Amino acid sequence: MKPTQFTNKALESLTCPPDKRYLYVKDPKTLGLSAVVTKASKRFLFRYRIGNRQRNMSLGAFPHLRVVDARRLALENNRQVAYGIDPLEEKSKSRAMPSLNVFFHSQYLPFIKLHKPSWHVDESLFRLHLAPMFGGKIFSEITPSMVIRYTAGKKVAGFSAGMINQSLVLLGALFNRAHKWRLKNVPPSRHLDIQYLKDPPKLNRYLSEEEHIKLFHELNRSKNHMLKFFIGFLLLTGARRSEAAQARWQDFDLENAVWTIPKTKSGQFRKLAIAEAVLDLLCVVEQFHYQHLQERPCAYVFGNLKTGRPYQNLYRSWNKARCAAGLRDFRLHDLRHSFASILVNNGVSIYEVQNLLGHASINTTKRYAHLAPETLRKSAQIAANVYSLAKRGGEADHLKRGHRANALNARNKRNITGSKKK
* Per-residue pLDDT, 2: 47
Judged by average pLDDT, the poorest of 4-13, 130-139, 285-294, 360-369 is: 360-369
Judged by average pLDDT, the poorest of 55-69, 103-117, 205-219 is: 205-219
Please indicate, yes or no, whether the overall pTM of this predicted structure exceeds 0.95.
Answer: no
Tell me the C-alpha to C-alpha distance, in Å, between residue 375 and each of 359, 362, 369, 381.
22, 19, 10, 10
Q: Which residues contact 141 (CB under 8 A, 6 or more apart)?
A: none
pLDDT digits 0-9 by tens, 309-339: 777 667 777 788 888 888 777 777 777 777 7
CA dist., res. 363 & res. 350, Å (int): 10
Residue type, 412: N
CA dist., res. 369 & res. 340, Å (int): 10
pLDDT digits 0-9 by tens, 236-255: 887 888 888 888 889 888 88
* Per-residue pLDDT, 365: 62
Cα angle, residue 358 at apex, residues 354 and 362 outer, rounded to 5°: 35
Detail the DSSP E strand segments found in 262-363.
Answer: 270-273
Q: How far apart are the first and last CA of the chain?
A: 138
Mean pLDDT along residues 277-282? 86
Closest CA to 348 of 414, 245, 422, 275: 275
